[in-house]
Structure 1
Amino acid sequence: MQETQSPQSIESGLQRRGRYQRRSLEEKARIVARCAEPGASVAAVALAHGVNANLLRKWIERARQEAPPPRAAFLPVQVSPAAHALSASPGAYDGVVDVELGGARITLRGRVDPAVVSALIAGLRR
């Protein structure tokens, strides 16, 4: 028969009840924030904090659902004189497109389809 323990507070903001740890919302938010840091691995963060990686992924998903929707932002655009004439295919242009967002930078050269640029920007925003 398994013996149950009464909830005990532990210094790091978690409680142990039986074999499970109950973490405060602040503690969960701090661990989820560590996953958003550049180069962070969910598995490594989970291991460092004694959390199952699948449970941490659930916390991350819940935090994304509860977060307010992102606000639209204006991005700086630099327009230079067109060096090439409009290409023959509709929606494609010859030239160079530099996209920089959130520390990531992508340069597209040659024929650039506006749908591809839209997809890249959407991907960088994630």
Structure 2
Amino acid sequence: MADIVDGKNEAPGRRPNFPREFKRQLVEQTFEPGASVSLVARRNDINTNLLFRWRRQYLQGVFGAPHPAHVQQQSEVDVAPFLPVSVVAETETSMSMREAVSENVCEIEFDRARLRIRGNVSPDMLRLLVRELSR
């Protein structure tokens, strides 16, 4: 007979079988403002990749109709906006920018902010920063 431990049905030597409602609750937590999929997974002792799979299934309606705001929020993440680009003549400022490139620096100027990033930054983190600053 299977035992229920921490919201999952477990049988000795078998993978845990998580109830649909448990999966839905965890996925919905990941859509809360400021939520981190990896932190939600860690708090519930599950693999982050599994929770990402559940998020895809949730958006496909596998766990019942997804909340409309979650679908819209995910579609905004999936579509990267185009940013305006200006090509300007080389000046003294451009020289300092060339030096910055050799230091592995990326600088993006917005209407109300300037983002300067040094070192290696993941594409996902850069996408998040650009999206938030362009609002």
TM-score (norm 1): 0.46
Q: Which has the larger radius of gyration?
A: 1
Considering fraction of residues, name the structure with more helix. Answer: 2
TM-score (norm 2): 0.43
